[in-house]
């Protein structure tokens, strides 16, 4: 990549004091014809989006047996022309060759989509029974993109899917044989800060993790957030009536958030190991991230100290290293339908 993702982010941030997502940041791209600066920016974002999609793919497919909500794993990274600011939409349309509202930004290497013959910059017309143009979505928003992702996720996880695309102006039909995958969207947030969250259906992580950390350490951060979705933590926290945001560090909220954080830590090492990553990537991540990034009075109340998290992960990794079966399924999976107890102390091992 000619320009690093960080330099792209810095360039875009000059135009914006804040941004909710990469979709908003892309509005800084120049309007009109595709110039070299546009190409570098578009490709930097495509590369980062596909890197996150690949991590998500690697975690979702081998861990399908740990998930009770499945989708057809295709290996597609999709985007929409509506996500671009009106000033950059013409350049994006030209560069990516949008012929329909939703197109293929990238294809995960070795995935069913790649084996089926789908290529980057193919424009989606139909996926199985889904007519892409008929899906709802307000212009200038990502609503149709999200509707497309959710509609595809609702298809049978292992039945062949006929996909119709437009490629270089010509209609093409291919049949893709998906594989079952854990149901979750993975979204990149273009940001020079460190942000990561999961809402039950989506994992969002900022580009800074991909830029500053090794691929395995970034995968560890994604695996932690993904664990929240697999364990239905959002639903279970809401069932307990907790307060989110700054209030998460006060009152009875604390014990529930600490429990979910530790459960996500513990499950993440199993997800990493099942996916072929080193589970110790989680240790490496926290030793690098924790000292300077995991502080703050409010965060420290709702999240265990990073040194204690490392000690807890070390102990769990020692356990899983004695297990030969694959995939490894921890007991946490069987408990996800139960109400949160707030018992985080029994999960935590204190650092010495």
* pLDDT per position as a tens digit, 327-336: 999 999 999 9
**Per-residue pLDDT averaged across 152-180, rounded?**
97
Q: How many Cβ atoms sit within 10 Å of the Cβ of residue 246? A: 10
Query: What's the pTM?
Result: 0.88
Q: 3-state secondary structure string, 50-64?
A: HHHHHHHHHHHCCCH
pLDDT given for residue 158 in this prediction: 95
**How many residues are given for the chain?**
352
**Per-residue pLDDT averaged across 75-104, rounded?**
91
pLDDT of 12 strictly over 90: no
- What does the alpha-carbon distance between residue 213 and residue 222 come to, in Å, rounded to a whole number? 12
pLDDT given for residue 299 in this prediction: 53
Domains (ranges, CATH) in the chain? 5-182 (2.30.42.10), 213-335 (no CATH)
pLDDT of 264 strictly over 60: yes
Write the pLDDT tens digit of every residue in 286-300.
Answer: 999 998 877 653 355
Q: For the chain, what is the mean pLDDT?
A: 88
Write the pLDDT tens digit of every residue in 125-160.
Answer: 999 999 999 999 888 889 999 999 999 999 999 999
**Per-residue pLDDT averaged across 218-246, rounded?**
92
Per-residue pLDDT band for 6 (boundaries 50, 70, 90) equals low
Q: Which of 3-17, 70-84, 163-177, 302-316 is least confident?
A: 3-17
| Alpha helices (H) in the chain, listed in sequence order | 5-13, 22-25, 36-60, 89-96, 112-116, 143-153, 207-212, 215-230, 233-239, 253-274, 281-293, 297-302, 306-320
Percent over 90 (pLDDT), the chain: 72
User: CA Rg, the chain, in Å?
Assistant: 21
**Per-residue pLDDT averaged across 262-287, rounded?**
97
Answer with the residue of higher pLDDT: 303 or 64: 64
């Amino acid at each position: 990549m000619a320009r690093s993702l960080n330099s792209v982010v810095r360039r875009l941030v000059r135009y914006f004091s804040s941004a909710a997502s990469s979709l908003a940041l892309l509005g800084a791209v120049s309007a009109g014809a595709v110039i070299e600066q546009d190409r570098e920016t578009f490709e930097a974002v495509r590369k980062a989006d596909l890197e996150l999609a690949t991590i998500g793919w690697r975690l979702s497919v081998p861990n399908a047996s740990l998930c009770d909500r499945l989708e057809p794993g295709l290996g597609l990274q999709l985007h929409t022309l509506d996500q671009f600011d009106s000033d950059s939409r013409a350049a994006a349309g030209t560069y990516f060759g949008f012929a329909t509202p939703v197109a293929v930004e990238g294809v995960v290497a070795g995935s069913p989509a790649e084996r089926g013959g789908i290529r980057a910059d193919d424009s989606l017309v139909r996926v199985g029974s889904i007519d892409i143009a008929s899906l709802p979505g307000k212009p200038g928003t990502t609503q149709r993109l999200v509707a497309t992702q959710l509609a595809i996720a609702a298809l049978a996880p292992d039945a062949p899917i006929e996909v119709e695309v437009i490629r270089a102006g010509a209609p093409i039909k291919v049949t893709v044989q998906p594989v079952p995958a854990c149901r979750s969207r993975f979204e990149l947030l273009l940001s020079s800060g460190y942000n990561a969250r999961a809402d039950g259906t989506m994992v969002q992580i900022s580009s800074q993790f991909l830029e500053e950390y090794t691929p395995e350490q970034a995968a560890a951060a994604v695996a932690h957030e993904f664990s929240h979705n697999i364990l239905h933590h959002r639903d279970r926290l809401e069932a307990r009536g907790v307060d989110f945001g700054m209030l998460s560090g006060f009152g009875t909220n604390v014990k529930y958030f600490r429990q979910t954080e530790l459960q996500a830590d513990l499950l993440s090492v199993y997800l990493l190991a099942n996916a072929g990553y080193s589970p110790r990537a989680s240790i490496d991540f926290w030793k690098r991230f924790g000292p300077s990034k995991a502080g703050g009075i409010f965060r420290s109340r709702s999240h265990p100290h990073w040194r204690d998290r490392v000690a807890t992960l070390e102990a769990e990794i020692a356990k899983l290293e004695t297990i030969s079966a694959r995939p490894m399924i921890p007991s946490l999976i069987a408990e996800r339908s139960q109400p949160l107890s707030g018992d985080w102390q029994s999960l935590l091992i204190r650092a010495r």
